[in-house]
Structure 1
Amino acid sequence: MAYFSAFPDLPGDAGSTVGRGSGMLKGQNLGFSVVPNGNTVIVKDLFETLRRYEKASPLFKKEMRKVAYAIAKDLQGRVKIEAGLAGASPGRARQYLQVAKGLRANNDNVPTIKLRGNEPFRSTTRPVNKNDRKKIKGRNQRVVLSDIFFGAEFGGGATSKTKQFLRHRGQSGYFFWPTVRKRKNAIAKEYLDGLDKVIEQLNI
């Protein structure tokens, strides 16, 4: 299972960071930053702050998961829209949309989206049959979403096996990371605002 977050330092996270702004928490400016051309939001001392409040209230983690899930769910919908626009042709757009549908908001302390990578990828141009398989470590397996996601997101074209994808874009991405970059400052603000409300609500 691949996990992608607007925040770094999570298992399987493939991002870096982007921009500059500020986040107020109980009157204190934590600050958040973004590395040029990066993908994720870095909030100063975020995880230390979360751990501190988790110790202060047994309800804190549950409430923060609600905040993070709502943000991730919104991002999930925006990624699907971006995926539909990223394809240069109707067939490729359908491919991107199918991959994007495999992305799901995850129940975590910070906004996180997971790829259900083991789900079968169903071709929209021809039926899936017993020949739609790949060899992995001597075993024949059906093509799954994780096989398609990285080519659809980052591009290909360098070999015959990746000609079905748009040109390679390095780490820039075509629909997932561009959506994160567009929303990065809003994600940080919404999350920190939610954090402040939870702290006030729990009186900690």
Structure 2
Amino acid sequence: MKLVYASASPFVRKVMALMYETGQVDQVELMPVMTTPVSTPPEVRAANPMGKIPALIRDDGPALYDSRVICRYLDDRGKGGLYPDDTLWEILTLEATADGIMDAAVLMVYERRVRPDHLVSEDWVEAQWGKVSGALDALETRWMDSLNGPLNMGQIAVACALGYLDFRHDARNWRAGRGALDDWYAVFSERESMKATAPA
């Protein structure tokens, strides 16, 4: 198998962290690419018609894309148990919340990186941060029990989302007023899977 990836992507990091947690790192070849919404390499589009990463090129079937699909596949393949049946819907919702944070945070980066300066919309940037902030508040007030439970994919996704905020939006200080989430992340980020996949 081959993973089409860029190390700075929080969606890629989710997949990589799962690979570490389930012992599959040595079973997947990494294919590094450089891609943006306005510049998609052919090898990325060949794996994912939408031109997004990550994409998992399999030897025994069509390529898989969307990090949630890839994570479910690799968890099943590696028998990781990161989507247990008894809390499946909570874990999927937690993962979706994390992915929403990543989506908005990545859009903020692209707004300034891809658009000409005179077309950048500060209202758009702040609207995206409003989504991030609302999701962070929900994690702090509604999801700490799930975050503090047995290891699951929702936790990995949230940790990758928070790591991306530190990487690209550190000045926003997401930790302010969210002590429980900050404390949880400080512990979770010490996992080997998180250290090994830190964005660069």
Q: TM-score, normalised by structure 1?
A: 0.29
Greater fraction of residues in helix: 2
Greater fraction of residues in strand: 1
